[in-house]
């Protein structure tokens, strides 16, 4: 399936920002599961390219003039191949993804839940379904600083929180699991195109676990970045001088050109 992606991220400030450095993970890699065509990223500043420790493509943008707004636009075409995930896509052994982080540290409630499920594919599918049934998908109910335990306790969150909870449980029962940021295509126009899900190492392969959609396959997913949690794979993170209060608005469209013909 060939998909067209357009993603806009706009930052506005109550006062001018004098200096800004942004680390942008909005460029997908070519993998056996996805082939990238004509991808380009537009930014208002000078850019350089790097690859981070997880193998993600990172654009570093520096802006040294005073602005009240920063607009980042990513756009391109991706072919999804439908091939299964493999182990040959990380510079680290899977065991690295057993390490908990402040966002994924399991409290007693999550540890008790995780202990109910065996560390195999069927066990993790059942865990995924339990988390989705227990924690409502509720945009605006959490922020990027909420932990897995906090979202589980309040029984509400977004895809980022569902993924963090799943990672916390997997790692607690000895299953390496990583956070994935990216996009998802849906025929439902109301569906959010930017997305997060998990991949768990089972046996000799990575397996997809999209908790929000209770999916164990990634047929409509475009991967941007991976990491131990959101902070490692966030589409945009940075630092700035000045600006005062910041407002961020992000919009993304994932469409199938063939479907409209």
User: Can you give the length of the chain in residues?
Assistant: 261
Residue 261: band (very low, low, confident or very high) from pLDDT cuts 50, 70, 90: low
The tens digit of pLDDT for each residue in 32-86 reads 999 998 899 999 989 999 999 999 999 999 988 888 888 999 999 999 998 888 7
Residue 243: band (very low, low, confident or very high) from pLDDT cuts 50, 70, 90: low
Torsion of CA 99, 101, 104, 105, to 10 degrees: 90
Domain ranges of the chain: 2-81+235-255, 94-232
Asked whether residue 239 carries a pLDDT value surpassing 90, the answer given is: no
Residue 88: band (very low, low, confident or very high) from pLDDT cuts 50, 70, 90: low
CATH class of 94-232: alpha beta
List phi, psi (to 5°) of 94.
Answer: -55, -30
Return the pLDDT at 191: 53
Return the pLDDT at 43: 92
Asked whether residue 87 carries a pLDDT value surpassing 80, the answer given is: no
The tens digit of pLDDT for each residue in 122-148 reads 999 999 999 999 999 998 899 889 999
Return the pLDDT at 192: 61
Query: Count of CB atoms within 10 A of residue 71's CB?
Result: 14
Query: Count of CB atoms within 10 A of residue 259's CB?
Result: 10
pTM of the model: 0.92
The tens digit of pLDDT for each residue in 196-228 reads 999 999 988 999 999 999 999 888 999 999 999
Return the pLDDT at 64: 86
DSSP assignment string, 17-32: EEEEEEEE---PPPBT
CATH of domain 2-81+235-255: 2.60.40.2250
2-81+235-255 and 94-232 agree in CATH topology? no
Residue 245: band (very low, low, confident or very high) from pLDDT cuts 50, 70, 90: confident
DSSP 94: G
Return the pLDDT at 8: 93
Q: Assign 68 to helix, strand or coil.
A: strand
The tens digit of pLDDT for each residue in 143-194 reads 889 999 999 999 999 999 999 999 999 999 999 999 999 999 877 654 567 8
Where is pLDDT greater, at 108 or 219? 108
Return the pLDDT at 92: 85
DSSP 96: G
Of 227, 236, 249, 248, residue with least CA distance to 103:
227
DSSP assignment string, 184-246: E--S-TTS-SEEEEEEEEETTEEEEEBTTTTBS--TTEEEEEEESSHHHH-SEEEEEEE--SE
């Amino acid at each position: 399936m060939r998909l067209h992606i357009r993603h806009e991220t706009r930052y506005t400030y109550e006062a001018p920002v004098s200096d800004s450095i942004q680390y942008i993970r909005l460029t997908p890699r070519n993998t056996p599961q996805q082939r990238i065509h004509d991808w380009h990223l537009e930014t208002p500043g000078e850019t350089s390219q790097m690859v981070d420790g997880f193998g993600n493509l990172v654009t570093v943008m520096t802006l040294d003039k005073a602005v009240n707004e920063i607009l980042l636009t990513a756009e391109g075409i991706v072919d999804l191949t439908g091939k299964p995930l493999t182990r040959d896509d990380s510079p680290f052994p899977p065991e690295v993804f057993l390490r908990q982080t402040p966002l994924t540290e399991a409290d007693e409630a999550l540890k008790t839940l995780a202990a109910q499920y065996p560390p195999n594919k069927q066990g993790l599918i059942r865990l995924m379904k339990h988390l989705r049934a227990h924690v409502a998908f509720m945009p605006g109910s959490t922020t990027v600083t909420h932990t897995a335990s906090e979202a589980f306790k309040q029984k509400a969150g977004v895809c980022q929180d569902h993924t963090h909870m799943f990672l916390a449980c997997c790692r607690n029962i000895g299953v390496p699991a990583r956070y994935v940021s990216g996009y998802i295509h849906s025929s439902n126009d109301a569906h959010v195109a930017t997305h997060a899900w998990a991949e768990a190492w089972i046996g000799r392969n990575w397996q997809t676990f999209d908790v929000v959609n209770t999916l164990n396959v990634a047929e409509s997913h475009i991967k941007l970045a991976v990491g131990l949690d959101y902070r490692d794979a966030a589409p945009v993170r940075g630092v700035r001088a000045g600006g005062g209060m910041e407002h961020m608005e992000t919009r993304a469209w994932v469409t199938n050109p063939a479907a409209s013909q």
